[in-house]
Amino acid sequence: MQATYHKYTLNFKRPSGTSRGVMTTKETWFIIVKSENKTGVGECGILRGLSVDDRPDYEEKLKWVCKNINLGLETLVSELVELPSIQFGIEMAFKSLESEAQFNLFPSQFTQGQDTIPINGLVWMGDEDFMRQQVKEKIEAGFNCIKLKIGAINFQTELDILKSIRKEFSISDIELRVDANGAFQPKEALEKLKRLSEYQLHSIEQPIKPKQYEDMAKLCEVTPLPIALDEELIGVFLEEKKLDILQTIKPQYIILKPSLIGGYSGSLQWIRNAEDLNIKWWITSALESNVGLNAIAQWTYTLNNTMPQGLGTGSLFTNNFASPLTVKNGTLQYDINKDWKFKLNE
């Protein structure tokens, strides 16, 4: 087996804002594994300032992986515990290599174009007009679950946007989720959750910054609005620690981003522990290209989770790779009449 890695910069169609800042580009790396006459492709994607493996020696680690690819999947994954995005890229590359078709990693009714995955429509932060425009676009596109990034503009303005949606659409018409990306201070969080709960929201992601276990546990105990942990899961490598966090905080939901928490194997550890504690979960992409999104979506379908997933990010970039993945009527679909066009400037 031989392996190489290649850096690729994805360009956003329009700047995308969260409470952590505005993104215009997203770096990602591809691991290409070759054995005999077959080629496997894996994507290693980090989010600057958020991924635990956003570190100066990242490319050195990729070089090490390529040099030692013949150690095999299990050994490589165990050696890279603190580099979850590379773990996922390797899992993906090996799965791609052993598959009959390079991008058909988990054959199913989804990949045959016979079934779909419900997803949420994502509304990025911006000024009020921009956010309202995005909400309108998502509803017109057939989404019945919309997730709004909040916490960067005036809170009352955000409440007004939610209020205007609820005036027009009931809870049975549109499921509303919000994601604060840790923007609230612990002292103010409960009051803000009370005000948000007036608009019959499905949930709020990560209201306060991670690693404030006591504050988050208190919040989850008394919240009027279900809380989903997201960033809280990043950088937790040991299964015992995962269980400890869930038992301590007792959230209503957890959100799994395979690139940030150790790929399929890391995500499954969280899922097992969450289900033992009756904590619900869903899966979200972390702004991967269509290669990574495809690997997450196909795997997600096999888990039989009927909630809307966070997998609608493929159309955000100007230079994404053409693929069969299509968003239609609030679902992610696999259009078997479309081909993959994956080409790197090698």
Q: Would you call 257 a catalytic residue per the annotation?
A: yes
CA distance 104 to 298: 8
Cβ-based neighbour number of residue 12 at 10 Å: 17
CA distance 45 to 288: 6
Q: How many angstroms separate the Cα of 5 from the Cα of each of 27, 64, 106, 229?
A: 13, 10, 23, 32
Q: Would you call 241 a catalytic residue per the annotation?
A: no
Identity of residue 328: K
Tokens at residue 270, please?
């969280």
| Catalytic-labelled residue, pool 149, 187, 192, 194 | 149
| Catalytic-labelled residue, pool 95, 138, 192, 257 | 257
CA distance 84 to 237: 9
Tokens at residue 259, please?
């690139």
The b/e string for 202-216 (b: 16+ C-beta within 10 A; e otherwise) is bbbbbbbbbebeebb
CA distance 135 to 169: 12
Q: Which residue has the tokens 């400890």?
A: 244
Cβ-based neighbour number of residue 167 at 10 Å: 9
Which helix H or strand E contains 23, and what residues bound it? strand 21-35
Of the candidates 321, 255, 301, 327, the residue with the CA atom closest to the CA atom of residue 106: 301
CA distance 242 to 340: 37
CA distance 30 to 43: 5
Q: Are 301 and 106 spatial neighbours (Cβ–Cβ below 8 Å)?
A: yes
Of the candidates 280, 283, 324, the residue with the CA atom closest to the CA atom of residue 301: 283
The SS3 assignment for 166 reads: helix
Q: Are 250 and 221 spatial neighbours (Cβ–Cβ below 8 Å)?
A: yes
| Active site members | 149, 257
